[in-house]
Amino acid sequence: MNLSLGKEIAVSTSYIKSNPAVPIYRNDEIYGVIYHIEIGYNENKNQKTKQYIIVDYKDFDLDNIKKNDLINIAKRYCEDKNIKDEIHIELLDNEEAENFIEKIFNNMKVIKGLITKKDK
- List the one residue out of 86, 52, 90 whose CA is nearest residue 70: 90
Please give the pLDDT value at position 29. Answer: 86
Question: Does the global pTM surpass 0.85?
Answer: no
The pLDDT score that the predictor gives to residue 46 is 83
Q: Name which residue leads in pLDDT, 87 or 15.
A: 87
Q: Over pLDDT 90: what percentage of the chain?
A: 18
* pLDDT of 47 higher than 80: yes
What is the DSSP pairing of strand 46-57 with strand 87-93?
parallel
- Name the more confident of 30 and 116: 30
Residue 63: HSE in the Cβ half-sphere, 13 Å Cα cutoff: 1
How much is the pLDDT for 44?
77
